[in-house]
Amino acid sequence: MITRAFLVWIEIACAETLHGILRVRLLNRRVGDKVARRIAVFSGSAIILTIGWFSIPWIAPASSTDSLMVGALWLVLMLSYDIGLARFAFRMPWSRVAADFDIRRGNLLGIGMLTLFATPFLIGRWKGLY
């Protein structure tokens, strides 16, 4: 199950990376960076839920606890990927990285991460897997 969950996370990471590139190239120019980031949290969450819809039966969590473990794995991997990319590839300061998660400033990345964590559990329940 963990290997399958990891493989699906790679798919999610690739899809979200492409989503981010498209956001910067297309949406930022039309509505500005801040609004584009807010919109992208919801479209990105839809991408995650869609991938989850098709992949959770293949991952085959046997219980809600297994689903939460898959969600936790995805969350840790995605946080590591996002923060690593921001800090080391884009050389963003820690304050900028942290600001993306600050809902008080209108930044909604934390909601996207919550969606990522909850997706295996929600899809498992919706599909009646346990």
pLDDT for residue 130: 87
Lowest mean pLDDT among 22-26, 47-51, 99-103: 99-103
Cβ neighbours, 10 Å, residue 120: 27
pLDDT at 85: 94
Could you tell me the residue range of the domain that residue 38 belongs to?
2-126
- Give the total number of structural domains in the chain: 1
pLDDT of 72-81, one tens digit each?
999 999 999 9
Q: What distance in Å separates the CA atoms of residue 46 and residue 23, rounded to the nearest whole number? A: 14
Whether 56 contacts 124, CB under 8 Å: yes
Mean pLDDT of 95-115: 91
pLDDT number for residue 104: 87
Does the pLDDT of residue 105 top 90, yes or no?
no
Percent of the chain with pLDDT over 90: 91
DSSP single-letter state for residue 105: G
Provide mean pLDDT across the span 93-105: 89
CA–CA distances in Å: residue 95 to residues 71, 92, 98, 125: 26, 8, 5, 37
Greatest CA span in the chain, whole angstroms? 45
pLDDT band at 111 (very low <50, low <70, confident <90, very high): very high
CA-CA distance, 26 to 19, in Å (whole number)? Answer: 10
The pLDDT of residue 128 is 93
CB atoms within 10 A of CB 2: 11
- The angle, 0 to 180 degrees and rounded to 10, between the axes of the packed helices 2-22 and 64-84 is 40
